[in-house]
Structure 1
């Protein structure tokens, strides 16, 4: 059974955006980070298969690859930490570190 999913609010997005790598200066632009993060969170919190991620969040393959890369670069850990800090400050811990960390490896 998964957790309840809600898309990132504008305020949450502003809080985590600074930890994300900048867009590459050359080559193809990276898929929209906010949509991709919402897709990643959707899969992790609902427990659905990657292939069942709603299309409005972009390609599930892109989301999966981005999560793996961000895990390797410790960016995902920073994103989760920022969201937890924000939830803690607001008195609502909607993201459970143990669940997300164990899901992500």
Structure 2
């Protein structure tokens, strides 16, 4: 069952804020990029709820699907996603040991989406 997510709280954002560069006050040509917090909100929404890109919410705390997808690709390539994951897993209140100890992970359930698999053959 998909979870619920309404965006990062101020405290949650403080845990990740230092991982991103300061946003420039003024940019050259083109539209300014979405704030990193909004992009992270959107990516976490996708991960937590399992929704499709086209179903991302719109509003003042979300980035567009194209912006979110673009940042996802950049962060995956430059290692930012790995740093985010390491930060979450290093937190005592969010690490696997803690949530497993509290019974918050159901290890009997798992899901795999094969639509993103690069393998195209049959067994």
* TM-score, normalised by the number of residues in structure 2: 0.63
Distance 1:33 1:9, change over 3 A: same
Aligned residues: 97
* Structure 1: runs of 5+ lacking an equivalent: none
> Contact (CA 8 Å) 2:23, 2:35: kept in 1 or not?
no
Query: Is the deviation greater in 13-22 or in 48-57?
Result: 13-22
2:74 pairs, out of 51, 69, 84, with: 69
* Structure 2: runs of 5+ lacking an equivalent: 105-109, 118-123
Larger Rg: 2
- Higher relative helix content: 1
User: Which protein, 1 or 2, shows the higher relative CO under an 8 Å CA cutoff with sep ≥ 6?
Assistant: 1
1:43 pairs, out of 42, 46, 55, with: 46
Distance 1:26 1:52 in 2: 29
RMSD: 3.0
User: Residue 21 in 1 paired to residue 4 in 2?
Assistant: no
